[in-house]
Amino acid sequence: MSRGYYDYPVVRRPVWTWEVPAYFWLGGMAAGAYVTASLAQTFGSPDDRRAAAGGYYVAAAALVPCAPLLIADLGRPDRFHHMLRIFKPLSPMNLGAWTLTGFTPIAFARAASHAAGTGLLRGPLGALSRLVPTRLAELAGCVLGLTLAGYSGVLLAATNIPLWAKSKLLGGLFMASALASGSAAVTLQAARRGAPDTTLHRLAMLESAASAGEIAVLAGYLVQSGRTARPLTRGRFAAPFWLGAVGAGAVVPFVLHRLAARRRGRALQSLSTVAGLCTIAGSLALRWSIFEAGKISSEDQGASFELSSD
């Protein structure tokens, strides 16, 4: 039943390509790893601190491709710096550009300071890195990191694309997914380097909390979206969404972490590793499927009318 002008779309199809979900995924993971590592530094035991500090390497590494991805997606990459010619937090895109600009050097500095502390980074660079005020870097990095993890969903939602804008929870969903994948990345490196069981148990607990949170927010998102969510829950993106984002990204790791809670040693390490890999892959599937399904949603005249008549 067409109530509009033929079956023509009301809004325009987003012009963004794969670089955007890839950036959201990596930036979110970097932020999640940084926050997890910092929580361990602040509240954890010496074992926790040692094992989780590798999260700073993860954060720094995941941030490396972020700016290039963001720039590659622009229509005029040579003008990327125009993002920073004004400060306009009203625009999530502007806020995100500034946040990335602020978070990247802090994450690198904190990683360098850890490397200097463990003797990995020597010489003048090591001496310089020792000067980094770690507490301050952790606090500022957490604030900027949480902003980076939290703005991406709000950016997509601050449009008129029904699938992105209908529910109020997309920002929270991407935040949960970022924190889940970031803490998973911290666990991965901790398990590989043979961290003590207590630390792995604690990380598993944190991760399963993140997965549980993600499932809850996701359920809310789907309920609020209602019929508008169809391009995501049916058709081409149903498999990556249900199997990838929901199954591999949240349900499987949640179950594995429950199992891991009673295991020790090698079994614990393997379970944590598999769960972590699943979470990280699912996090990418979540961003990608919601991003791509949004393009289909943009062509849905009925969904646009529904969105703009509430």
Partner 1 sequence: MIDTYKRLMNVEPPPPAKKPRGFFTDTSLCIGCKACEVACKQWNRLPADGFAMTGNSYDNTGSLGATTWRHVQFIEQAKANSSRQDQRWLMMSDVCKHCANAACLEACPTGALIRTEYDTVYVQQDICNGCGFCVPACPFGVIDRAPKHGQFEPGTAHKCTLCYDRLKDDMTPACAKSCPTASIQFGDVEELQQRARRRLAELKARGETKAELYGMPEGKEAAEVGPLHAFFLLLDRPQTYNLPELPRLPRKTMAQRYGWSAAVGVGFALVGALVFGRRR
| 96-115 binders of partner 1 (CB under 8 A) | 97
Residue (86 or 131) nearer to partner 1, CB: 86
* Position 223 contacts partner 1 (CB under 8 A): no
Q: Is 19 in the site for partner 1 (CB under 8 A)?
A: no
Cα–Cα distance measured from residue 111 to residue 125, given in angstroms and rounded to the nearest whole number? 12
Task: For the segment 115-144, give every residue that binds partner 1 (CB under 8 A).
Answer: 142
Which of these ranges, 14-22, 101-109, 249-257, 268-276, lies near partner 1 under the rule CB under 8 A?
14-22
Q: Does 58 bind partner 1 (CB under 8 A)?
A: no
Residues 264-303 that bind partner 1 (CB under 8 A): 294, 298, 301
Q: How far is the CB of 90 from partner 1 (least distance, A)?
A: 6
Smallest gap, in angstroms, from Cβ of residue 215 to partner 1? 12
How far is residue 260's CA from residue 183's CA, in Å, rounded to a whole number? 16
Q: Say whether residue 209 binds partner 1 (CB under 8 A).
A: yes
Q: Which stretch binds partner 1 (CB under 8 A): 104-112, 210-218, 243-251, 283-291?
A: 210-218
Cα 263 to Cα 310: distance, rounded to the nearest angstrom = 51
**Residues 175-204, interacting with partner 1 (CB under 8 A):** 175-176, 179, 198, 202
Report the site for partner 1 in 226-245 (rule: CB under 8 A): none
Indicate the residue among 16 and 242 with the shorter CB distance to partner 1. 16
Q: Which residue, 36 or 272, has its beta carbon nearer to partner 1? A: 36
For partner 1, which residue of 184, 206, 290, 296 counts as binding (CB under 8 A)? 206
Distance between CA 194 and CA 201 in Å, rounded? Answer: 13
CB of 131 to partner 1, least distance (A): 27
In the complex, the smallest distance separating the C-beta of residue 41 from partner 1, rounded to whole angstroms, is 9
Query: Least CB distance from residue 170 to partner 1, whole Å?
Result: 7
Smallest distance from partner 1 to CB 307, Å: 7
Residue 225 interacts with partner 1 (CB under 8 A): yes or no: no
Q: Which is nearer to partner 1, 5 or 131 (CB)?
A: 5
Per-residue binding letters, 32-51, with partner 1 (x by CB under 8 A): ---xx--xx-xxxx--x---
- Closer to partner 1 at the Cβ: 121 or 231? 231
CA–CA dist 213, 206 (Å, integer): 11
Binding-residue total with partner 1 (CB under 8 A): 81
Cβ-based neighbours of 257, under 8 Å, separated by 6 or more: 204, 205, 207, 208, 211, 271, 272, 275
HEC letters along the chain: CCCCCCCCCCCCCCCCCCHHHHHHHHHHHHHHHHHHHHHHHHHCCHHHHHHHCHHHHHHHHHHCCHHHHHHHCCCCHHHHHHHHCCCCCCCHHHHHHHHHHHHHHHHHHHHHHHHHHCCCCCHHHHHHHHCCCHHHHHHHHHHHHHHHHHHHHHHHHCCCCHHHHCCCCHHHHHHHHHHHHHHHHHHHHHHHCCCCHHHHHHHHHHHHHHHHHHHHHHHHHHHHHHHHHHHHHCHHHHHHHHHHHHHHHHHHHHHHHHHHCCCCHHHHHHHHHHHHHHHHHHHHHHHHHHHHHHHHHHCCHHHHHHHCCC
Residue 90 binding partner 1, by CB under 8 A = yes
